[in-house]
């Protein structure tokens, strides 16, 4: 598992799956439109996030993850719920 903040780890997974320059990944970056993820990339990204954070993301939840920031917020909220 990657160490660092949730945001750093999400960016690391996005970089690993999409092979884009991490310097160009912002919280506002739209995964499909700006980072160029096709439908298979999007599925791979969700699987990789599940693997990285050892949790499951439903299809409905995945559909709501439009930007990198959405993914970060979603995972942070899930983590809060788990520790609450």
- Residues marked as catalytic: 38
Q: Given the rule CB under 8 A, which of 3-11, 21-29, 51-59, 74-82 is the region that contacts other proteins?
A: 51-59
- Does residue 70 touch other proteins according to CB under 8 A? no
Q: Report the candidate in 49, 57, 56 with the shortest Cα–Cα distance to residue 7.
A: 49
Could you say which of 34, 47, 70, 78 contacts other proteins (CB under 8 A)? 47
- Does residue 29 touch other proteins according to CB under 8 A? no
Measured from the CB of residue 45, what is the shortest distance to other proteins in angstroms? 9
Tokens linked to 23: 């310097």
Q: For tokens 């499951």, name the residue.
A: 56
Positive or negative CA dihedral for 70, 67, 24, 40?
positive
Measured from the CB of residue 44, what is the shortest distance to other proteins in angstroms? 5
CA–CA distance, 4 with 60 (Å, rounded to integer): 27
- Does residue 14 touch other proteins according to CB under 8 A? no
């Amino acid at each position: 598992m990657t160490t660092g903040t949730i945001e750093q780890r999400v960016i690391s997974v996005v970089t690993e799956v999409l092979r884009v320059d991490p310097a160009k990944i912002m919280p506002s970056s739209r995964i499909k439109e700006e980072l160029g993820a096709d439908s298979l990339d999007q599925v791979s990204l969700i699987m990789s996030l599940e693997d990285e954070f050892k949790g499951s993301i439903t299809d409905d939840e995945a559909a709501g993850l439009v930007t990198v920031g959405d993914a970060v917020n979603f995972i942070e909220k899930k983590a809060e719920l788990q520790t609450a």
